[in-house]
Every structure is written in C-alpha cells, then in structure tokens.
A and B are shown apart, each in its own frame.
Chain A
Amino acid sequence: MTATTARLATPAPIGGIRRALADGLVIAWRNLKRIPRIPELAIFAILQSIMFVLLFAFVFGGAIPIPGYPSSNAYREYLMPGIFAQTIIFAAATTAIGMCDDINKGIIDRFRSLPMARSAVLTGRTSSDVVYNAGILVVLMPSGLAVGWSVNNGLPSFLAGVGLLLLFAFAMSWIGVWLGLSVPTVEVAQQVSFTVIFPITFVSNAFVLTQTLPDWLQPIAEWNPTSTLTTSLRELWGNPSLPGGTSLASTEPILVTLVWIAVILAVFIPLGVRRYRSMSR
C-alpha cells in the first residue's frame, strides 16, 4: 500500500453543459468500447437483418409484384429501404436491452453515485447507439447491393437518406431508453420490443404494397413512421416507390418523417429523463 494521505480539493462544479457533454462522451466511449468485446450482439443484429433480406428477396419476393416495374429485380430494390428502416427501428430494442442490462449489473448505481452529469448516462447511450447503428448499416448495405439493390440518385441524396435513417435511429433510441428503464429484466425488454416493433414494421409499406391491405388498415400503414421513412429512402435513392395514397404521408414522406422524429424526441426524452430521475425513489 502506498501512503496516499494527500487529499484533492473538492472538484469545483463544472459548467453544466460542458460537464454534460464531457460525461456523455465518456459514457458513449464506454458503450462503444464494449461492442467488440461482446461481438455476438452485433453479429446477430446483422445476421437478423440479412436473414430478412434473404427471406423477402427469395421467399416472399416472387409473390409480391411491383406494378409498373416488370424487372424481376424490382422487388429487391423496393425491399432494401424497408429492411434499412426496419433495422434502424430495432435500435429501440438494442438501447432498451443495453439500458436494462446496465441497471441489473449495478453499473448504473455506480454512475449515480458519481459527481457526473445526470443526463450523461442517457445521452451517452443514445449517441453511442447511433454510431452502432451506422456500423450495422455499413455492413448491411453491401449485402443489399449483392442481392440487387442500387442507389440511383447520386451521392448527396444517398447521404441525405443515411442521415434521415440515423436521425430516426436516435429517436428510436430514446424510446428504448424509456423502455429499458421501465422493465424489470433484459428478457422482458426483449419480449416487449419484439411484440411492439414487429407489428409496427410489418403494418407498413416496408415489405408489401399498402394498397393490398384491408381498407381500414391502409391509413394506419400509410402514416406509420416505418412507411414514411421507407418511402423517403426510396425516393431519395431512386428505388421503386408506390406509396399509393394521396395523403400528406404519401406525398411529403420526408417532411412527415422529420415530424415523427421531432414528436418521438419531444415525448420520450422527458419520459426517459423522468424515469431515470425517479430511480432514486
């Protein structure tokens, strides 16, 4: 044991925002550092998406004609933006599971006992999950190209699409924060995510044409953020897009998607922060 009787002066309170950013970065660093240490998580997230690509491209694809696009490749071009949207929506599950795991392992209690910004655990988590999802897209896009997807409108539009995807991932991540703080175990987080997210991604135009749905379901599918996000991507990337309806969701998908993102953030950031605060009661 070395004698360490010297005491450091009590750290002066650091400016709120600067401390919040610095602490958020440390937490994000920690989350990213963990990814290669548990490679199974990322690998299975990617495999799951690739499985969807293969299932829909080769199993269901033949049964879903895209009117006006006679090429056998049309469905795969139609499909890939839907797959990207679905993958990004699953970001909520990733975040929820990560958050819940941290609570159960006791690491959150350690963070809460430290003189760090209260917000950092949440902002660090959601921002590192955006980076994680960007990484997943980087792996998933080549596999899309391999089955016949293509980007036809040039680089700026392509990047705009990617940006929209990541913004959406950030919003979904905040839903995940709230969910992860609300459920007792990782298993429940997983179950709830899948029970809620599957219908959300399927009652949409991600995989099928909404025109084929029952009349009462069509408006729901049309306004579903999965649909508006998918349609935005199809239009930005020049992939077959048949939104069908005449509503704003179909005619201005990018605008509606941005509104969705704003609404999700406006609702779930306060909810998540409140949950986190109330952990001390």
Chain B
Amino acid sequence: MDPANAITAEGLVKIYKSRKSEVRALDGIDLEVKEGTVLGLLGPNGAGKTTTVRILATLLKPDAGRATVAGFDVVRQADQLRSVIGLSGQFAAVDENLTGRENLWMFGRLYQLKSPEAKRRADELLEQFDLVDAADRVVKTYSGGMRRRLDLGSALIGRPRLLFLDEPTTGLDPRSRLGMWDVIRGLVREGTTLLLTTQYLEEADELADTIAVVDHGVIIARGTADELKSEVGGERIEVVVRDRSAVTRAMELLSADAHGEVTLDEHTRKLTVPASGGGAGVLVQVVRDLDEAGIIIDDIGLRRPTLDDVFLALTGHAAELAASTAEGDVPKRPEEKVA
C-alpha cells in the first residue's frame, strides 16, 4: 500500500440483514485518499456514504474487504486509529444538555488530553468557531449552524490528522452553509486530510480535490470535478427561442454550426447542443446565424455541465430524486479510474 495514502480501502462490503431482507449497503468500495487532500464522497441518500465513513471511523466492521486509515487497519488497530481521526456529522453528536465548553472539555479528556490542556484547547476552538459568547450556554439553545460548528470543533479537539465529515451542511440555511465551507477550507489549508460526504453536488465541487460518486454501494465514477464534467461532454450551447414556429429552423442552424446532435425541451423551447472544439467561437457563429435568419431568442449561453448532469448521465436518475426512485435497475458505467 502506498504510504502517502491517508486512507486506503479495498473491496469494502457491508450487508445489513433484517428478518425479511438483506441489503448490500456497500458492494465493493475502493478508495484512495492522499495525505493532505480532500475526497468528496458524493451520492444520494442511502447510497452507502455514511456506511463507508462508519467503517473507516471504526464504528462498523466491514463484512468483506479491508481498509487502513493513517496506516492503521480499521479492524485490527482500531484503538490506535481512533487517536488520529476526528469525526463529525449527522450521526456523531454533541451532548445537548452540556454547554459548548463542557462538551469540548469532555471530548478532549476522552481524547486523552490532560484536563488543563483540554481546557486550553476548548478555549481555542470556541474562539476559532465563533462560539465564545455561547460557550457557557447549554447546546439545546444553539442554532443549527452553531451546533454544527461545535460538532466540528469537537472532532478537532485532539488535532486529528484525518477528518471525516458526514454531510456537514445538511439542513443548514444558505448563510450557515457558506460559513461552514469557509471553516472547512481553512482546515484543509492547514493540511488536514479530509473525507467529506455530501449529497450536494455543489458542495463537492467547492470543497473536494477529487470526487467519488457513490450509488447503490458502489463507486460509479471518480476524478476531479472537471474530469467528471468533461466525461459527460464538454461545454454546450443553450438557446431559448421565442417563437415555437422558429424552433425547427433554429435546430438546423445549431446542428450545422456545432456539428452535434441538438436536443429540444419542447416546454421551454430550449435547444441544447454540445459545442465540440472552441465553444466561444461556435457561440459567436450561432448568434450571427440566428440573427441573420431573423430568429428572435430569449436567452443564449455557453454552459459547462454541472455535476447534476454528471449524475444523470452516470446513473440515469437525478441525484436529488435518487432516494425515492432508487429501485429498479440502474445503468452503471464501468468504473473509470482517474489518477
């Protein structure tokens, strides 16, 4: 195994058995996270993100496969492993009947810091996460954003080399989410290796160096955000035509200029065509030709594919809806490994 890897997982399988059925929550997950980088584990609810994190953080034993975190085996060296990781997220909570300061001190002590050091570290974190005013209030009275910051602070109390954040911004309002992103970026700048799970495509795009897309317990794609986007095709041109009668003519022009297949959204009269080659040049040509043909347009633009497009292309279902439509067979692309 590569020593520069902070996390290595090979063929992780986890099966949840109940009386009636058997669910393969993980069906062979392979992961590699280099020291000092951020991996975003992206997928819909129930894809297996949390199960993966729980295994890597020693809370769950895999049914097959193996994994090392910071060089320690997640099953055989769980105790040593726990002293170099921090865990924060939807399932690892803080105590809402203790104050922020008490929570941090307690977790510091259990991280085996001496009491004065745990106190000092708690003060530092309260400062760092803007919780000084609320430090001596019970957590019950905190807002959602404050609670998440305390939660993250609790994970950092022992200065872990490696941090697991399970859906760090789920349920936060947009402002708190941006604040949380700033905090996370700060940690990464300081060199913390980070594994982040999220169901928000934008979040993975913002924070992660590499992204692994998880669906039904397998990784269906991985790479940087840009690599994933170019996998669905490069830039595309979108045109919204004002008159329905001009749609056919516009499609012909677009097809000729961009040398690609034009798709039409009947309802919004939006035409989309991949712009292979220089997107901007093609765009200028399209504008000229449409103008010349006297076709009035409401909107035109060059658009890079979003990760939403990536998800749709990879799984055949939209990410946000996946939880409710996850049944049935889902086309799976052969796994492509991007170094």
Query: Smallest Cβ distance from A173 to chain B, in angstroms?
Result: 20
A10 within 8 A of partner (CB): yes
Q: Chain A interface: which size bin?
A: 35 or more
Q: Which of A1-49 contact B (CB under 8 A)?
A: 1-8, 10-11, 13-14, 19, 22-23, 26, 29-30, 33-34, 37-38
B109 within 8 A of partner (CB): yes
Known: A2-B127, A8-B158, A114-B107. A19 touches B93 (CB 8 A): no
Contact present for B107 and A110 (CB under 8 Å): yes
B58 within 8 A of partner (CB): yes
CA gap between A1 and B60 in the complex, in Å: 33
Q: Which of B143-190 contact A (CB under 8 A)?
A: 154, 158-159, 161, 183, 186, 190
Stretch at the interface among A101-109, A159-167, A255-263: A101-109
CA gap between A21 and B57 in the complex, in Å: 24
CA gap between A280 and B58 in the complex, in Å: 8
Which one of B98, B112, B127, B183 contacts A116 once the chains associate, using CB atoms below 8 Å?
Answer: B112
B258 within 8 A of partner (CB): no
A212 within 8 A of partner (CB): no
A115 within 8 A of partner (CB): yes
Contact present for B79 and A115 (CB under 8 Å): yes
B82 within 8 A of partner (CB): yes
Central interface residue in A2, A14, A26, A110, by most chain B CB within 10 Å: A110
Q: Which of B80-111 contact A (CB under 8 A)?
A: 80, 82-85, 87, 90-98, 102, 106-107, 109-111
CA gap between A114 and B154 in the complex, in Å: 11
Which one of A2, A5, A14, A109 contacts B191 once the chains associate, using CB atoms below 8 Å?
Answer: A5
B61 within 8 A of partner (CB): yes
Q: Which residues of A contact B154 (CB under 8 A)?
A: 110
Nearest-neighbor residue (CB-CB) of B57 within chain A: A113
A275 within 8 A of partner (CB): no
CA gap between A115 and B107 in the complex, in Å: 10
Which one of B84, B93, B102, B183 contacts A1 once the chains associate, using CB atoms below 8 Å?
Answer: B183
CA gap between A167 and B83 in the complex, in Å: 35
Which one of B82, B96, B97, B138 contacts A114 once the chains associate, using CB atoms below 8 Å?
Answer: B82
Contact present for A11 and B138 (CB under 8 Å): no
B231 within 8 A of partner (CB): no
Which one of B102, B110, B158 contacts A33 once the chains associate, using CB atoms below 8 Å?
Answer: B102
CA gap between A141 and B326 in the complex, in Å: 60
Contact present for B190 and A5 (CB under 8 Å): yes
Nearest-neighbor residue (CB-CB) of B159 within chain A: A8
Contact present for A113 and B112 (CB under 8 Å): no
Known: A109-B93, A113-B59, A113-B87. A26 touches B82 (CB 8 A): no
Known: A14-B112, A110-B107. A115 touches B91 (CB 8 A): no
Which one of A4, A38, A109, A110 contacts B97 once the chains associate, using CB atoms below 8 Å?
Answer: A38
A111 within 8 A of partner (CB): yes
CA gap between A98 and B263 in the complex, in Å: 59
Majority secondary structure, B binding face: loop
Which one of A3, A29, A34, A106 contacts B91 once the chains associate, using CB atoms below 8 Å?
Answer: A106
Known: A4-B159, A280-B58. A11 touches B109 (CB 8 A): no
Contact present for A112 and B159 (CB under 8 Å): no
CA gap between A237 and B321 in the complex, in Å: 68
CA gap between A95 and B238 in the complex, in Å: 63
Contact present for A11 and B191 (CB under 8 Å): no
B291 within 8 A of partner (CB): no
Query: Smallest Cβ distance from A69 to chain B, in angstroms?
Result: 46
B128 within 8 A of partner (CB): yes
B124 within 8 A of partner (CB): yes
CA gap between A116 and B112 in the complex, in Å: 7
Nearest-neighbor residue (CB-CB) of B90 within chain A: A106
Q: Which residues of A contact B79 (CB under 8 A)?
A: 13, 115
CA gap between A105 and B151 in the complex, in Å: 13
Contact present for B98 and A33 (CB under 8 Å): yes
CA gap between A168 and B85 in the complex, in Å: 39
Enumerate 27 A-B pairs (CB-CB under 8 Å) in ascending A order. A1-B186, A8-B159, A11-B113, A26-B109, A26-B110, A30-B95, A33-B97, A33-B102, A34-B97, A37-B98, A107-B94, A109-B87, A109-B91, A110-B92, A112-B58, A114-B82, A115-B79, A115-B80, A115-B82, A115-B83, A115-B112, A116-B110, A116-B111, A280-B58, A280-B60, A281-B60, A281-B61
- Which 9 residue pairs of A and B lie closest in terms of their CB atoms, listed nearest first? A106-B93, A115-B83, A1-B186, A115-B82, A116-B110, A110-B92, A113-B87, A11-B112, A37-B97
A residues with a Cβ closer than 8 A to B are 1-8, 10-11, 13-14, 19, 22-23, 26, 29-30, 33-34, 37-38, 105-107, 109-116, 120, 280-281
Q: What would 6 more interface pairs be, CB under 8 Å, given A23-B110, A109-B93?
A: A7-B161, A11-B83, A34-B97, A37-B138, A110-B107, A113-B87
